[in-house]
Structure 1
Amino acid sequence: MITGEMRSKVDRLWTTFWNNGISNPLSVIEQISYLLFIKRLDDLELVKERRAQRLGEAVKEPIFSVDKQMCRWSYFKNLSNAEEMLKIVRDEAFPFIKNLGLGAAESTYVRHMKDAVFLIASPALLASVVGQIEQIPMEDRDTKGDLYEYMLSKLTTAGTNGQFRTPRHIIKMMVELMAPHPREIICDPACGTAGFLVAAAEYLRDLQDSEGNYVLNAPGNREHFNRQMFHGFDFDATMLRIGSMNLMLHGIEDPQIEARDSLCEDCAGVTESFTLILANPPFKGSLEKSTIAKDLTKIVTTTKTELLFIALILRLLKIGGRAAAIVPDGVLFGSSTAHKKVREMLVEQHKLDGVISMPSGVFKPYAGVSTAVLMFTKTGAGGTDDVWFYDMAADGLSLDDKRQPVAENDIPDLLKQWRERGVAGATGGVRTGKAFFVPKAEIAANGYDLSINRYKETEYAEVSYESPKVILQKLRSLEDEIRADLDALEELLG
């Protein structure tokens, strides 16, 4: 969590852009991201230089060549001449990061950065922004991530076309539910700012084996982590740049962030490529039937994006691959043929592992839509026996537009119940609690309805009342008291 002081610094930085004519939230995020990226490169170079100095060696694989030293943050941040600073950043440092492949000349990062534009034209604005960024502590990885997420939360354009920014604690919850291992191939087919991929990376960085060793330090794991593990698709060029920089700012050297409209016919070639998919795909929208990939319409005949994305996820997963996806509640109980077919497919043809019902305020202030998390495994041969349900009523934040921290939080219990669901004696049979299992046969008998209210049992406490005669006597006693008070008042009035 970022402190109030740091939050104020970010707000002040944001206001500086607005006061100088850059008011589009996406543009502000982009410009700050470029500068943060330049700063991070310099920080990495300083670490290499200190290490080389201790060992008495030359710097190995320097990021900045001798003729590019002026591109370093530590060089231009101290310039007293603001015009000179702007000239260096605009004409040297920014072109430098646009063409930086970190060892991969044709990296996806380089492709996304081709159309990037440096919008800061005022020397005074640049000097002010550089000075403010310098005052924000960015050394700690978690703090850096929190600050970046706080800036992303200011994207007031979120919520258009069914796209809602996923709260960071919900992303983290889904990653912990899936518990990725170090050789996963992870994809988010609607990645936006790459929040799910960043959270998965953070989880794996902290993951240790039974002997307390970090799993990424095992042979081959680090290389896989940096170059083959993380994949994301989006059709918005700005989001692709922000997502790429977000991942690289979090230390992933060459994330595979691609420009794809995941549901369209032009992108139908990617199949059975990933072992884990984490997603909050756009929903509450429809597509033109002629633009939808034919292999998806063969699975389910619909134009609704929330149903097409389930079919897409199944197409993208390898056999045995797992997924956790946020869906609107309508997917759970919709009565159309397409809704029923998607649910039947998950239950009968694959393995539906769990359904988490989330409170309707999770996506406020963007929307009050009710949502759920579906967790499933692609098998192609069935495998569903009992489906685990969880009724999440609170997520640690108020369910109004303010979303302030509150004491009520079901997420720790949810994670505990999920991990212990296979343990003998664990909660799962009693349907009056938050977590319970429902047999496949019962789900099928209910038309594959996956809404939790269909199966949860409400426990009513017995209420005992006094007998009518006793109640009547009490009423008469009250009337006698009222009459006596009225008589006394009448005497006082003479």
Structure 2
Amino acid sequence: MSLNGFVKTIQNIMRVDNGINGDAQRIEQMTWLLFLKVYDTKEEDWEFHNPNYVSIIPEDLRWRNWAVDHKDGESKTGQELLVFINNELFPTLKNLEINEKTPVRQAIVKAVFEDSNQYMKDGIQLRKVINVIDAINFDDHKEKHAFGEIYETVLKDLQSAGNAGEFYTPRAVTDFMVQMIKPILGEKIADFACGTGGFLTSTLKELEKQVKTAEDKRLYDESVYGIEKKPLPYLLAITNMLIHDIDTPQIIHGNSLERNVREYKDHEKFDVVLMNPPYGGTENEIVKSNFPADLRSSETADLFMSVIMYRLKKNGRAAVIIPDGFLFGSDGAKTELKKKLLTEFNLHTIVRLPKSVFAPYTSITTNILFFDNGSKTKNVWFYRVDLPEGYKAFSKTRPMQLDHFKDAISWWENRVEIKDTDTDTFKAKCYTVEDLVNRDYDFDLCGYPTFEEEVLSPEETIRQFHERRNALNAKIDKKIKQIEELLGIKE
């Protein structure tokens, strides 16, 4: 069965069940079952290498002992299956006893089930779903490494994925960012809002090529770290790490913004940060107090930028996806963040992405900021990734591919200014820090020429209007202040 077919088959079975309402519940139901199947496969491996291994899951609750259908008429189904899962499996896994000595790879079972739910009410349909999941062979190299595609298919089918300002990041974008950052085995790589672990798995794909010895494998196991606030993406991220042979996933269930950024010690910082922070979300005033007064913002993406700066090691490297509003925004926090990027970090490259990269979730235009913590910025290169020839936009059926970055990758190693003679705009250009300061920290450069007006949703139209209006008001206020100073007018 193809991976797309796998997801569709499960979703079609679940649609018959009256206990599940909508895609979000279908996906949650699917993912805790996938987790148990994956975890059982990993336990087989751990048992093979350690005859003394003891599972944290009671023997009769392990996947192999209740989920596998041996076609002998003995497997649980119908009401018996529902009673077992609702009254035995879930209560036991939610209340597993753990302490500071419990290995992380075992403690994650309780962490996963604390926020998981069992929605299905039809035990026969539930048995069908379990059989489809059990048919996946995670020992097969091809199926194992293609497993991430299941998550991509799931998220693409979840049309509401972007409602809270969080969008599935296409594999092409995460792979491009990782390739430009060039992670090295032994470095610590983090994503402080890791979602399902897309950046981390792209990183592991690069690091896997560098594994040659047992010591290399140990470094590989300890290389990636993530934090995720929401239960469902957290569960997906944990499962994703197990599939990629990370036996002790360093994925924390929590909110990265709830720690005072000034308290981080050197051992809590990272060599590499790769992120697509949530945009447009809101945090309460208590969370904002975790940041210096000049960096406090109502925009979650701004707060995450601060977290990245405070948690990036000396000489560390970062690649971060940021919406257009950050580039041209001139409210206090955005301006201060951009000043900090230029004076305390080396913001060397800004790659501008086409609007439709995140289709169908949003048409918000985004950019990738590449910077390191090695020196002050001298020059910033801007590069615009144009739509491929023949494309009016990317879409769910025609998403962005890594091949669409081939010109950008080639340019990265041999940077030259590129001017589009048809539109008289720059596709790539280098600007000095002075150029950017003189623009009042407006980084809206090498953007896309407008040929036709795009029809946006009312919410996005209002959002963009507010961003542009605030930027314009700030410029007007600054000019009025300069004129008042020249005329000797005091407040």
Q: Does 1:385 align with 2:378?
A: yes
Greater shift after overlay, 236-245 or 261-270?
261-270
Equivalent position SS for 2:251: strand
Q: 1:97: how far off?
A: 6.7
**C-alpha offsets along residues 9-57 of structure 1, whole Å, 9 cap, x if unaligned?**
32121121122032343332232223223333444466678x89xxxxx
Q: How does 1:217-366 map to 2 (within 5 A)?
A: 217-226=212-221, 228-264=222-258, 269-272=263-266, 273-294=269-290, 296-366=291-361
Q: Are the aligned partners of 1:42 and 1:73 in contact in 2 as well (CA < 8 Å)?
A: no
Q: Are the aligned partners of 1:190 and 1:279 in contact in 2 as well (CA < 8 Å)?
A: yes
Residue in structure 1 matching 2:147, options 144, 149, 172: 144
Q: Does 1:23 align with 2:13?
A: no
**C-alpha offsets along residues 241-276 of structure 1, whole Å, 9 cap, x if unaligned?**
232222223321222222332223567644551111
Residue in structure 2 matching 1:170, options 149, 156, 173: 173
CA distance in structure 1 between the partners assigned to 2:400 and 2:235 by the alignment: 35
Equivalent position SS for 1:442: helix
CA distance in structure 2 between the partners assigned to 1:395 and 1:280 by the alignment: 23
2:11 matched to which residue of 1?
A: 14
Equivalent position SS for 1:161: coil
Q: Are the aligned partners of 1:191 and 1:232 in contact in 2 as well (CA < 8 Å)?
A: yes
Q: 1:216: how far off?
A: 2.6
1:116 matched to which residue of 2?
A: 116
Q: Are the aligned partners of 1:30 and 1:242 in contact in 2 as well (CA < 8 Å)?
A: no
> Quick one: structure 1 residues 24 and 201, their matched pair in 2 at CA, closer, same or farther if it must change by over 3 Å?
farther
Q: Are the aligned partners of 1:145 and 1:250 in contact in 2 as well (CA < 8 Å)?
A: no
CA distance in structure 1 between the partners assigned to 2:373 and 2:324 by the alignment: 22
TM-score (norm. length: structure 2): 0.75
Equivalent position SS for 1:217: coil
TM-score (norm. length: structure 1): 0.75
CA distance in structure 1 between the partners assigned to 2:110 and 2:120 by the alignment: 21
User: 2:440 is matched by which residue type in structure 1?
Assistant: G
CA distance in structure 1 between the partners assigned to 2:273 and 2:168 by the alignment: 17
Q: 1:152: how far off?
A: 2.6
Q: Are the aligned partners of 1:108 and 1:258 in contact in 2 as well (CA < 8 Å)?
A: no
User: 1:204 is matched by which residue type in structure 2?
Assistant: L
User: 1:156 is matched by which residue type in structure 2?
Assistant: Q
Greater shift after overlay, 438-447 or 87-96?
87-96
Q: Are the aligned partners of 1:109 and 1:254 in contact in 2 as well (CA < 8 Å)?
A: no
Q: 1:109: how far off?
A: 5.1
Q: 1:343: how far off?
A: 1.5
CA distance in structure 2 between the partners assigned to 1:171 and 1:292 by the alignment: 29
2:423 matched to which residue of 1?
A: none
Q: 1:172: how far off?
A: 1.7
1:428 matched to which residue of 2?
A: 416
Corresponding pairs, count: 429
1:160 matched to which residue of 2?
A: 163
User: 2:24 is matched by which residue type in structure 1?
Assistant: L
Q: 1:388: how far off?
A: 2.4
User: 1:35 is matched by which residue type in structure 2?
Assistant: L
Q: Are the aligned partners of 1:109 and 1:241 in contact in 2 as well (CA < 8 Å)?
A: no
1:127 matched to which residue of 2?
A: 127
Q: Are the aligned partners of 1:271 and 1:315 in contact in 2 as well (CA < 8 Å)?
A: no
> Quick one: structure 1 residues 27 and 454, their matched pair in 2 at CA, closer, same or farther if it must change by over 3 Å?
closer
Unaligned runs of 5+ in 1: 53-57, 208-214, 421-425, 457-494
CA distance in structure 1 between the partners assigned to 2:213 and 2:114 by the alignment: 35
- What fraction of aligned residue pairs are identical, expressed as a percent? 25
- Structure with greater Cα Rg: 1
Residue in structure 1 matching 2:184, options 164, 181, 186: 181
User: 2:189 is matched by which residue type in structure 1?
Assistant: I
Equivalent position SS for 1:33: helix
**C-alpha offsets along residues 268-288 of structure 1, whole Å, 9 cap, x if unaligned?**
644551111111111234444
> Quick one: structure 1 residues 270 and 158, their matched pair in 2 at CA, closer, same or farther if it must change by over 3 Å?
farther
Equivalent position SS for 1:158: helix
Q: How does 1:441-452 map to 2 (within 5 A)?
A: 441-452=434-445
User: 2:110 is matched by which residue type in structure 1?
Assistant: V
CA distance in structure 2 between the partners assigned to 1:176 and 1:406 by the alignment: 16
CA distance in structure 1 between the partners assigned to 2:62 and 2:148 by the alignment: 27
CA distance in structure 2 between the partners assigned to 1:429 and 1:134 by the alignment: 54
CA distance in structure 2 between the partners assigned to 1:268 and 1:17 by the alignment: 47
Q: 1:106: how far off?
A: 7.0
Q: Higher RCO, 1 or 2 (CA under 8 Å, sep at least 6)?
A: 2
**C-alpha offsets along residues 348-390 of structure 1, whole Å, 9 cap, x if unaligned?**
22100210000111111111101101011124xx432222221
